[in-house]
Structure 1
């Protein structure tokens, strides 16, 4: 046993506060850890299953091969579980966070998110990460707050759903942006946030002992695992679909445009730095310089994805250990360290997917139609509600105290749809009227 193994063996596990639940409940199967229960709850949730029909890069119904939000979440979970375990996190806890991180994404991916944010202006906007917390703590009904003799902190929730009732540590680990809209600690203009005003009570409970604006360590592992999974796999999907030509990455003009896109993912990076990052990747013997769909090229591509994931995760693991040393890195004991050069390599891969897959002309036309679907759905549902709302969201609408809360219930309904069900509901409520 080396020094790291010895340190992990003697250091305490997560404390009772980390394993606490919003509503206390007994374990029906003694012997399971609190985080194993969390993982099982997310894995069996309807919200996770819904992601099978939700856009990752391209719409899931357009072909059989591209990844969906569900396959991405499963792959992210595998990456995060191994990286977290290597650094001393509870692997079930990190896997839970990775499985849950995209639950709030609406139909049509980021296009739907932007359109729904506009439709939700009257109730504070829409953000997929804030919606994830809302799903986990309200909209996925597994547990309810006691109707009588509820603790004071449950005052807003007597007899109401508390969602999956995950542990404090699991909810914290799944919160990528632990602040409300407009309060990003380093980017005041950022539209990224992790909680709506309606959900502040449970958010404050989750973050009771957290440094303001700082993510827990498990959340940083989840965030990097997300970046690694989608940057690598989106390029793989693009190659399989024939949208990415590896030879184009050697063209000077194409590289210049690629680095312009990559700069969005690596603010402040110079084109020369991004060029060096791409050159480092292309210099690896496993890099897919050609791809024709043959069995041999498919094998080489699969090896390349494995090599890239290992490269990005090992770089983060080594840099984090260099800063913090051996031992169990959990909660607020550390922050994941990702070398700058590694972040640039990841940014270049993201740019490849954006440039050659998402920026295709037909994708722009599709996104335009999708924005119209979301806008028209919101208009009709707001006008006719509670007609058109499912029972869960109808109840929220009818219990709402004001127009803001009623609009939030409508937004919740739209956000719960898959791509296909959004189109079907649009045909029923809009086109057929």
Structure 2
């Protein structure tokens, strides 16, 4: 028996179904899969910038492969808990669709660039891509939408499930928000009937699936790329440094001693490989580690959530996902390993990337509208004020891949 109602399946711009053998959520999933914005994630940074040079880098994950893996994790976890699997998969595929070149590093640079038009946040940009920037559907002429682009025109439930942070910059939590002020109209429509600040169950499943996928797979990629040596983690002093990074970035409410104890327990599990040398046997051991960790995190959440809510289907606002504290701390520690050995130790490269984004924005704005692609040029020319014109430039840069951002910067600097 379905637990979703017509309210959940409604689209911002009403449209008739073209095929009766597909559900509304199956159509949502197909729209995201066929979108250009999703394809562009294939050339956006996850751990290492795509095409960075070394042979091993070519096999590392991009933002697209991360999204696909997040979708696989989320689909299975959501299905086990009674969600519509296509709905959860759509949210997982969509969750990073607005991220700019160079990953979170580019996000930080664009936030500075966009300070006069409401800042930049990858999650808010994802909502903007899904509901405005990806050219798929336009509303009919006349009120209330007056023929404007409605992006992919996904269902209310799909957009709600893709929103990690359903609030504006004014209510940001640790700098995170999911709605720009000029996208409030669609956000209010999506959140109609929802408690302010509360994410729906499918969004909670997506959020944990994202954490699981990137904590485990980023660790795997960093090891393959040579950034991490597991042998170093045998040193308690080294583990403390990683725990301090994890605490600072991901779990400020945790005590350092608690993290160190959880770290030691996690590393004592028998599935941790003793080392990695690129041989088939070590690759197999590494794959066993990743699959075991994903299972560990997903089953912990599934068991705890079922213990709290029983065996009924859990959807929308009928429940909250329960993730045990031990699992959250272990997840934070895995993210801390990658942050400590990759992000922090490669700050010089990251600084150059931020400079490139800043210069690219300045050059694009100075030459606009001629420096903009047609879709963004139209938005720039139709803008009512400087803030809206700046937002069009930011939208343009956010749409670029790592490689196209570098090429465009080179072209504009002569």
Provide the C-alpha distance between the structure 2 equivalents of 1:243 and 1:388, rounded to a whole number of angstroms: 38
Answering whether residue 360 of structure 2 is matched by residue 370 of structure 1, we say no
Give 1:283 shift. Answer: 2.1
Which runs of structure 1 show a deviation greater than 4 angstroms over 4 or more consecutive aligned residues? none
Give 1:325 shift. Answer: 0.9
Give 1:377 shift. Answer: 1.1
What does residue 205 of structure 2 align with?
A: 221
- 2:171 match: secondary structure: coil
Contact 1:35 1:92 in 2 (8 A): yes
Give 1:257 shift. Answer: 0.6
* Aligned residue runs from structure 1 range 226-241, under 5 A: 226-241=210-225
Contact 2:101 2:401 in 1 (8 A): yes
Provide the C-alpha distance between the structure 1 equivalents of 2:28 and 2:360, rounded to a whole number of angstroms: 34
Contact 2:47 2:222 in 1 (8 A): no
What does residue 298 of structure 1 align with?
A: 283
Answering whether residue 173 of structure 2 is matched by residue 179 of structure 1, we say no
* Aligned residue runs from structure 1 range 23-172, under 5 A: 23-62=13-52, 63-148=57-142, 150=143, 152=144, 154=145, 158-172=146-160
Provide the C-alpha distance between the structure 1 equivalents of 2:253 and 2:197, rounded to a whole number of angstroms: 23
Contact 1:282 1:289 in 2 (8 A): no
RMSD, matched Cα: 1.0
Alignment counterpart, residue 369 of structure 2, candidates 371, 386, 389: 386
Provide the C-alpha distance between the structure 2 equivalents of 1:25 and 1:279, rounded to a whole number of angstroms: 55
Q: Count residues with an aligned counterpart.
A: 409
Answering whether residue 17 of structure 2 is matched by residue 17 of structure 1, we say no
Provide the C-alpha distance between the structure 2 equivalents of 1:269 and 1:302, rounded to a whole number of angstroms: 29
Bigger mean CA offset, 292-301 vs 222-231 = 292-301
- 1:29 match: secondary structure: coil
Contact 2:42 2:65 in 1 (8 A): yes
* Aligned residue runs from structure 1 range 270-349, under 5 A: 270-349=255-334
Give 1:21 shift. Answer: 0.2
Offset from partner CA, 1:365-399 (integer Å, 9 cap, x none): 21111111111111112122101100000011111
Q: Which sections of structure 2, spanning at least 5 residues, go unmatched?
A: none
TM-score, scaled to structure 1: 0.93
Contact 1:180 1:194 in 2 (8 A): yes
Contact 1:249 1:255 in 2 (8 A): yes
Contact 1:39 1:95 in 2 (8 A): yes
Contact 1:50 1:418 in 2 (8 A): yes
Provide the C-alpha distance between the structure 2 equivalents of 1:298 and 1:287, rounded to a whole number of angstroms: 12
Provide the C-alpha distance between the structure 2 equivalents of 1:65 and 1:274, rounded to a whole number of angstroms: 32
Give 1:276 shift. Answer: 2.2
Contact 1:58 1:358 in 2 (8 A): no
Alignment counterpart, residue 388 of structure 2, candidates 402, 405, 415: 405
What does residue 5 of structure 1 align with?
A: none
Contact 2:239 2:263 in 1 (8 A): no
